[in-house]
Structure 1
Amino acid sequence: MTTPSFDSVESQASYGIGLQVGQQLQESGLQGLQPEALLAGLRDALEGNSPAVPVDVVHRALREVHERAEGVRRERVEAMAAEGQTFLEQNAQREGVSSTETGLQFSVITQGDGPIPSRQDRVRVHYTGKLIDGTVFDSSVARGEPAEFPVSGVIAGWIEALTLMPVGSKWELAIPHNLAYGERGAGASIPPFSTLVFEVELLEIL
């Protein structure tokens, strides 16, 4: 296959569209897709050609690959949820870990003596967020700048923890998926049904 020169705006835009479509297909979880066949379908559509494969066959094939992808996704999220539950059960046995009625777990690293925020407050915090395998997905500490946000504007596990923490405290939180991002996850860094671990330092109420 001849490599395009990409020396015109049209060729660059065309490549960009192809790149976006390819990324979306990769993220979709569809397995076994063949680039040559994909390009043939794209070319036939753009050039107004008759489909090389009967439409009913195409629909049946699409349904099958989507069902396969959904099965793989379901297995992954079920495994993720089970791993999170096991982690929480083990974490609950650690010395110094407290659990609330909702399932939030926390341990006190440093206990402050300042006021406790309400849901109506804005706060400034430092935090590091990890998956249960230790992968850091976000950190204000690494960025070198505290985060500021309304207490009511974050995930349920954070809201609950912040409305228990005195200013000056640093706590470690273990947040079940139903108090975090649940079945949706959050982008590529937080898969669906992820239990999350945060180290949170409450610096001040704004």
Structure 2
Amino acid sequence: MKKLVIAGAAAGLVIAVGCTKKLDTDQKKASYAIGQQIGGNMKQQNIEIDADVMAMAMKDAIKGDSKMTKEEIQQAMMKLQESAMKKQQEAAEENKKKGAEFLEKNKSAEGVKVTASGLQYKVEKEGDGKMPTKTDTVKAHYTGTLIDGTKFDSSLDRGQPAEFPVQGVIPGWSEALQMMKVGAKYKLFIPPELAYGASGRPGIPANSVLVFDVELVEIVKAGAAPAAPAEKPAKKK
């Protein structure tokens, strides 16, 4: 947290003055790019800032000045971290509640089946090939969204199926893959405990129910060396 917020001062400076300057040099473009990355990270973590104050602090630091002592800065950082953690916990609890309500309603939807683990799935198309085992490596196309429809990942966007071991993904995926035959298309509704739980991941808030459209393209037998995809889907952390 400390590293992020200190680095965020650069983003604050860009926010405060960047709109009045043209990005007509490599230095300005690089500065703006860094600000975008830092600002996006802060937004994703839901950190509230005062851009004008951050710009002032950045200017003071460059001059070697500070309007706060080191102790005051440390206390402010600790309070910010405590506030951020509280917000994350509240958001996680709210997400858990919404997810449970969604799954409770969804399990009665037409065509939806529920396994003993709590995984919900709908068969969009039955396959006619073999069924993978837990020791196999497979290729699959997929699109993953949150329950509000927000897309966080898609092999289709990259133009090639992802390749990964059946045991190398989140439990909801591992279970579903072993029910599918090659050529099958399933829609998965994965509870948080079969996905990323309270930890979440970038683009996936804590306690999120995940929705996947999955097509099992091919089975690569255990022992084969898979080609590394641009990004593996739903990989365990």
TM range (shorter): 0.7 to 0.9
For residues 56 and 196 of structure 2, what CA distance do their matches in structure 1 show?
39
* Aligned residue number for residue 47 of structure 1: 63
* Aligned residue number for residue 192 of structure 2: 177
Of the three residues 36, 45, 51, the one matched with 1:28 is 45
Q: What amino acid is the match of 1:185? A: G
Unaligned runs of 5+ in 2: 1-16, 221-237
* Aligned residue number for residue 214 of structure 2: 200
Q: What amino acid is the match of 1:105? A: Q
For residues 136 and 102 of structure 1, what CA distance do their matches in structure 2 show?
25
1:92-113 alpha-carbon deviations (Å, 9 max, x no partner): 2234322222211122222224
Contact 1:117/1:166 (8 A) holds in 2: yes
For residues 163 and 178 of structure 1, what CA distance do their matches in structure 2 show?
18
Unaligned runs of 5+ in 1: none
For residues 182 and 136 of structure 1, what CA distance do their matches in structure 2 show?
18
| Counterparts of residues 16-95 of structure 1 (less than 5 Å) | 16-31=33-48, 33-49=49-65, 51-95=66-110
Output the aligned Cα RMSD.
Answer: 2.7
- After TM superposition, the structure 1 stretch with the greater mean CA deviation from structure 2, 171-180 or 2-11, is 2-11
Percent of matched pairs sharing the same residue:
43
Residues 1:99 and 2:114 aligned together: yes
For residues 53 and 77 of structure 2, what CA distance do their matches in structure 1 show?
13
For residues 58 and 6 of structure 1, what CA distance do their matches in structure 2 show?
32
- 2:144 partner SS: strand
Shift of 1:125: 1.9
For residues 202 and 4 of structure 1, what CA distance do their matches in structure 2 show?
50
For residues 132 and 28 of structure 1, what CA distance do their matches in structure 2 show?
20
For residues 8 and 134 of structure 1, what CA distance do their matches in structure 2 show?
39
For residues 23 and 13 of structure 1, what CA distance do their matches in structure 2 show?
15
- After TM superposition, the structure 1 stretch with the greater mean CA deviation from structure 2, 119-128 or 10-19, is 10-19
CA pair 80-4 structure 1, distance change in 2 beyond 3 A: same
1:56-109 alpha-carbon deviations (Å, 9 max, x no partner): 333333333333332222222211111111111112223432222221112222
TM-score normalised by structure 2 residue count? 0.72
Structure ID, larger Rg: 1
Contact 1:120/1:150 (8 A) holds in 2: yes
Q: What amino acid is the match of 2:209? A: T
User: Number of residue pairs matched?
Assistant: 203
Shift of 1:116: 1.2
